């Protein structure tokens, strides 16, 4: 293999920084916006509804970590194997684990794998998982943070071997508005717009923007109500977001669960039951059981009401890649 550095411009080679294989890097995060635009200085990627993962390889040592540093190797053993097959043995790759329902990425379907922590059970699962990779912040003893995004993506595409499991995330140039319309027509989550010459920043940035087709976000679970009639487990989850270091109540969610989840999650909630309401202001929900706010879920809804509550919310799945105290109301920026 030729030296990839020979393909860089003089300016790009000067931007390279020597770096040992990192144990961890914070991922770059996108900012939600309600503005759609087309710009030749930007690229546009499909927004996938999966679990964000960072892949680390240092020789024979391969790790898959969620964005809050949880080890996902036993959940996705086939992704570990795909990383071990790569011709490069010193890298950090940014990407997303995805499962599909037809041609649409499905976080609900991925849930069946996210809750598995045994590699053999994961291999026996009928839920196929794919790793869509879109950035390369570290490569062979160098930090690529200061290289332009287009260059990082080119290196990723040319130096790695892609197959059915390990997939490169393609992008569209310039036509962000058209791509967004196409995404929504196809039932996708939306589009991620990225400034083509942007550096890789280890924080949330306006160099990456989210164009969402629908409303949805993470919410912290702070309680539940009892089931009624023939329902098992619980009736609804009581959820909220953090604001000024306090958990603010955002409403109750009673739809989106199957019976297996209702029964299993009730057992886990019972272990966290507490007499103290975790919300800053106690909701007026009769018969509520409060729990320590340890779990984060993904929820869809139609809109926020004027008093900060969710309208027509539905449960999509549990998240393990975000700390509860990081969950805030996600509002369009700009």
What's the domain range around 223? 215-326
**pLDDT tens by residue, 102-154:** 999 999 899 999 989 999 999 999 999 999 999 999 999 999 999 999 999 99
- Does residue 249 share a domain with residue 159? no
Cα distance between residue 194 and residue 20, in whole Å: 27
What's 184's domain CATH number? Answer: 3.30.470.30
Residue 1 has a CB neighbour count (10 Å cut-off) of 7
- Does residue 164 share a domain with residue 20? yes
Question: Which residues are annotated as catalytic?
Answer: 47
From residue 320, give the alpha-carbon distance in Å to each of 73, 106, 328: 14, 16, 16
Residue 264 has a CB neighbour count (10 Å cut-off) of 13
Q: What is the pTM of this model?
A: 0.82
Does 334 reside within a domain?
no
- Does residue 201 share a domain with residue 230? no
Last residue of a domain, one of 158, 191, 212: 212
Overall domain count for the chain: 2
Last residue of a domain, one of 184, 212, 240: 212
CA dihedral for 26, 32, 33, 36, sign (positive or negative): positive
Q: Helix %, strand %, coil % for the chain, to 5? A: 20, 40, 40
- Does residue 235 share a domain with residue 183? no
Q: What mean pLDDT do residues 184-211 have?
A: 95
- Rounded to 5 degrees, φ, ψ at 148 are -65, 150
- Does residue 143 share a domain with residue 11? yes
- Does residue 187 share a domain with residue 261? no
pLDDT at 192: 98
pLDDT at 306: 86
pLDDT at 288: 95
- Rounded to 5 degrees, φ, ψ at 268 are -70, -35
- Does residue 316 share a domain with residue 167? no
pLDDT at 287: 87
pLDDT at 214: 82
- Does residue 243 share a domain with residue 125? no
Angle 93-143-94 (CA atoms, 0-180°, nearest 5)? Answer: 15
Cα distance between residue 46 and residue 32, in whole Å: 15
Last residue of a domain, one of 212, 227, 255: 212
From residue 112, give the alpha-carbon distance in Å to each of 108, 126, 209: 8, 9, 29
Of 193, 169, 167, the closest CA to residue 179 belongs to: 193
Of 29, 95, 21, the closest CA to residue 64 belongs to: 95
Is the CB of residue 78 less than 8 Å from the CB of residue 225? no
């Amino acid at each position: 293999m030729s030296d990839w550095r020979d393909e860089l411009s003089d300016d790009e080679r000067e931007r390279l920084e020597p770096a040992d294989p990192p144990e961890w890097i914070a991922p770059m995060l996108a900012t939600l916006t309600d503005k759609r635009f087309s710009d030749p200085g930007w690229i546009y990627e499909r927004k996938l509804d999966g679990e964000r993962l960072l892949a680390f390889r240092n020789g024979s040592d391969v790790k898959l970590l969620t964005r809050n540093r949880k080890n996902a190797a036993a959940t996705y053993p086939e992704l570990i194997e795909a990383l071990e097959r790569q011709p490069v043995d010193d890298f950090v790759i940014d990407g997303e684990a995805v499962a599909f329902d037809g041609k649409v990425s499905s976080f609900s379907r991925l849930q069946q794998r996210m809750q598995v922590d045994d590699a053999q059970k994961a291999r026996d699962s009928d839920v196929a998982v794919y790793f869509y990779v879109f950035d390369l912040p570290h490569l062979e003893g160098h930090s690529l943070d200061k290289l332009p995004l287009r260059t990082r993506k080119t290196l990723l595409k040319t130096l790695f071997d892609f197959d059915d499991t390990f997939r490169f995330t393609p992008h569209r140039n310039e036509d962000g508005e058209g791509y967004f319309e196409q995404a929504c027509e196809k039932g996708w989550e939306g589009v991620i717009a990225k400034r083509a010459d942007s550096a890789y920043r280890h924080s949330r940035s306006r160099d990456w923007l989210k164009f969402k087709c629908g409303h949805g976000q993470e919410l912290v679970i702070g309680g539940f109500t009892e089931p009624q009639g023939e329902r098992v487990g619980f009736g609804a989850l009581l959820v909220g977001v953090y604001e000024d270091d306090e958990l603010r109540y955002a409403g109750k969610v009673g739809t989106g669960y199957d019976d297996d989840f209702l029964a299993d999650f009730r057992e886990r909630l019972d272990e966290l039951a507490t007499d103290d309401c975790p919300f800053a202001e106690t909701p007026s929900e009769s018969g509520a059981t409060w729990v320590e706010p340890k779990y984060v879920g993904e929820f869809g809804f139609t809109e926020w009401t004027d008093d900060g509550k969710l309208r027509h919310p539905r449960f999509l799945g549990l998240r393990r890649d975000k700390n509860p105290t990081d969950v805030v109301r996600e509002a369009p920026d700009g």
